[in-house]
Structure 1
Amino acid sequence: MTVVLKSVSIENWYQCSQLNVKPEQLSVFPAPVVYWIAESKYVEEFELRAIYSNESLVGFLVYCTRPDQDDNYWIPAIMIDEKHQGKGYGKAALKELIQMMSQSHCTRIMIGHRPNNVIAGKLYESLGFHRISEEVIEEEIIRLLQII
């Protein structure tokens, strides 16, 4: 499966804002894409990418271009539109993003998910993200991918 991560721009921001998760997933992905687009205008290190497959928009993600105080680079959000879930786009997009981030001298990538988002937890584990604590921090399970 091949996906392409394209910058969110004047040409595609509105289409990105129309992406949705399934209604039953709103508790695990409560912030709509338009929220992330707005927040990126005020959080300088947020970089947005639209996830495409064969020129079709299938999802959206946010990653940080600068590390936190512990040298961790974060992926604050990744979502696949409800019409495209279960087809491998999330895994392919994360692989592409990890590759891209590792080329910029990033060695530690952090990602979080809600405790009841079992599918996300299994996906992140399959890519090498390990849970860093048994406790839930700010309503999320935090995972780390150490890149060597």
Structure 2
Amino acid sequence: MGIHLEPVSADNWYACTKLKVKPEQQPVFPAPVVYWIAESKFVDDFELRAVYWETDLVGFIVFCKHPDEEGNYWIPALMIDEKHQGKGFGKSAMHELIANMRSMKCKRIMIGHRPDNRIAGALYEALGFKKVSEAAIDGEIIRLLQLS
């Protein structure tokens, strides 16, 4: 089974709120999962996914189910819990999400990260995301993955 993404639901939302990053990562991932869950109740475009390794909850992803005016689909948040980092779960979860978004006919996927979050930058580059701007939105580096 490996890594798989499940919708955040009545069954797992509370467990998702317990996910957290390492204390030193707070400046690069300042919004807790509970924030994203709350915001999704008011931003109709946000889709939330819990990231599971087998039956263990290991992370959380937010993506947009509709493109913006330029045809870009955004991934506003990806986080892997502090206890599960460094095991390849983030990369595997992104592969799964990209495959799902490809099936939604996405052609352009955008993601941002704080400049000092070098781990995220390296991960996104390894997945094929190209830097398109620096400090464009909330001081984040913006990257694009062009799908064929």
* Alignment RMSD: 0.9
Residue 80 of structure 1: how far off its partner (Å): 0.1
1:43 matched residue in structure 2: 43
CA distance in 2, matches of 1:2, 1:116: 30
SS across alignment from 2:109: strand
Runs of 4+ in 1 over 6 A off after TM superposition: none
Q: Does 2:20 correspond to 1:20?
A: yes
CA distance in 1, matches of 2:111, 2:124: 8
CA distance in 2, matches of 1:42, 1:62: 14
Which string of whole-angstrom CA distances, capped at 9 and with x for unpartnered residues, describes residues 55-112 of structure 1?
A: 0000000000000000000000000000000000000000000000001110000000
Q: Does 2:104 correspond to 1:97?
A: no
1:77 corresponds to which letter in structure 2? A
1:78 corresponds to which letter in structure 2? L
Residue 136 of structure 1: how far off its partner (Å): 1.2
2:119 matched residue in structure 1: 119
Q: Does 2:127 correspond to 1:130?
A: no
Any stretches of 5+ residues in structure 1 without a counterpart? Answer: none
Q: Percent identity?
A: 64
CA distance in 1, matches of 2:45, 2:22: 28
CA distance in 1, matches of 2:8, 2:54: 17
Any stretches of 5+ residues in structure 2 without a counterpart? Answer: none
TM-score (norm 2): 0.98
CA distance in 1, matches of 2:129, 2:42: 28
